[in-house]
Amino acid sequence: MSNFVWNPWRIVSDIWQHHYLLGQLIKRDVLLRYRGAMFGVLWMFLSPLFMLIIFAFVFGQIFQARWPQQTGDLPFWLLLYSGLITFNIFAETVSRAPGAVRSYASFVKKIIFPVQILPLVPLGAALVHCAFNFLILLVALAFTGGLHWQILLFPLLLLPVVLLALGLSWFVAAWGVFIKDMTQIVPMLVQMLMFLSPVFYPVSATPPVLQPFYHFNPLGMVIETSRAVIADQPIRWDTWGLAFGLCLGAAILGHAFFEHSRDEFADAL
């Protein structure tokens, strides 16, 4: 318990020390998913594109859906898509986190390896996918005439969700080593969280009783602010700042828990 690293800079520099290895791990993780497929890495581009086309068709053409109190003239399917981009970083990382260390058992037990970077691998892969999703979004925005300079702030606005995903990933990865059931439980919880977060609806559409809950859900805050930037609406920096603080705290706690339990990984696996 004594030698915890609370200083975020120390955590960052520790990870940076292994950045080449981490980069290789992420590259392998992403490539492995598409290896052997006929279209290969083209799928990184194709799958979000198809998803967006289906969104546009179903919600734009069939349902002609609009959010209640919707501001701006961005079509519903693009708002939905931009919320999903943000949520997917979280979902992909945390759903895969229970196996992040467990599936690398031989790295833990048989080679000298900086185990603390393993939970960053699903995050890195999620960010790579996010980059492609974002590219598709840019193209779609250009197509619908909604492109504007403020969109460059989008990656910055995602920072809290990256930190939150990282913190939970460290936490869940450590639990996943000891309890195999986590690989079943966590993806289910993440699914549930998708409906509890303002991905398919804005916070303003929820009953007023529940709104405080949404205001203190850092995931919800980030989804709302990042959606605002795409819809070219004013950014609530205070909300963003609060989300950043909460998520940074989550990341540091997750790291501390991981470091606390890692000595037992080799025994448990």
Partner 1 sequence: MHSDIAVSVKNLTKTYRIFEHPGDRILQALTFGQRRFHREFTALKDVSFDIKRGETVGIIGRNGSGKSTLLQLICGILKPDKGTVAVNGRISALLELGAGFNPEFTGRENVYFQGAILGISELEIRLRFDDIADFAGIGEFIDRPVRTYSSGMFVRLAFSVAIHVDPDILVIDEALAVGDVKFQAKCFQRIKSIQREGGAIVLVTHSLEQVGHICDRVIVIDRGKLIAIGGVSETLSRFVSGDLERPNPAPAVFHSNDPFASHPLFNVRENRWGDRAASIRNIQLKQNGTFDPLTFCAGLEVEVTLFIEFHGAVQNPIYGLTIKSQSGEVILSTNSIQSSAVIANRNPVVGETVCTSFRFHPFLDAGTYKISVGVASDIDGAIVAHDRRYDSLTFDIAHPLNSTGEIAMHPSFCILDASTRE
The span from the CA of 80 to the CA of 66, in Å, is 10
User: Which tokens is 174 given?
Assistant: 């450590």
Asked if 28 interacts with partner 1 (CB under 8 A), we say yes
Q: Are 160 and 221 in contact (CB under 8 A)?
A: yes
Amino acid identity for residue 169 in this structure: S
The span from the CA of 96 to the CA of 101, in Å, is 10
Which one among 34, 45, 113, 200 touches partner 1, defined by CB under 8 A?
Answer: 113
Asked if 106 interacts with partner 1 (CB under 8 A), we say yes
Asked if 32 interacts with partner 1 (CB under 8 A), we say yes
Q: Of 36 and 207, which CB lies nearer to partner 1 in the complex structure?
A: 36
Asked if 148 interacts with partner 1 (CB under 8 A), we say no
The span from the CA of 52 to the CA of 171, in Å, is 32
Asked if 37 interacts with partner 1 (CB under 8 A), we say no
To partner 1, the closest distance from the beta carbon of 184 in angstroms equals 14
232 Cβ contact partners less than 8 Å away, ≥ 6 residues apart? 72, 74, 146, 148, 150
Q: Of 162-201, which residues contact partner 1 (CB under 8 A)?
A: 178-180
Asked if 73 interacts with partner 1 (CB under 8 A), we say no
Q: Are 127 and 65 in contact (CB under 8 A)?
A: no
To partner 1, the closest distance from the beta carbon of 264 in angstroms equals 8
Q: Of 111 and 152, which CB lies nearer to partner 1 in the complex structure?
A: 111
Helix axes 8-17, 237-261, angle to 10 degrees: 60
Per CB under 8 A, residues contacting partner 1 are: 20-21, 24, 28, 32, 35, 106-113, 178-180, 263, 266-268
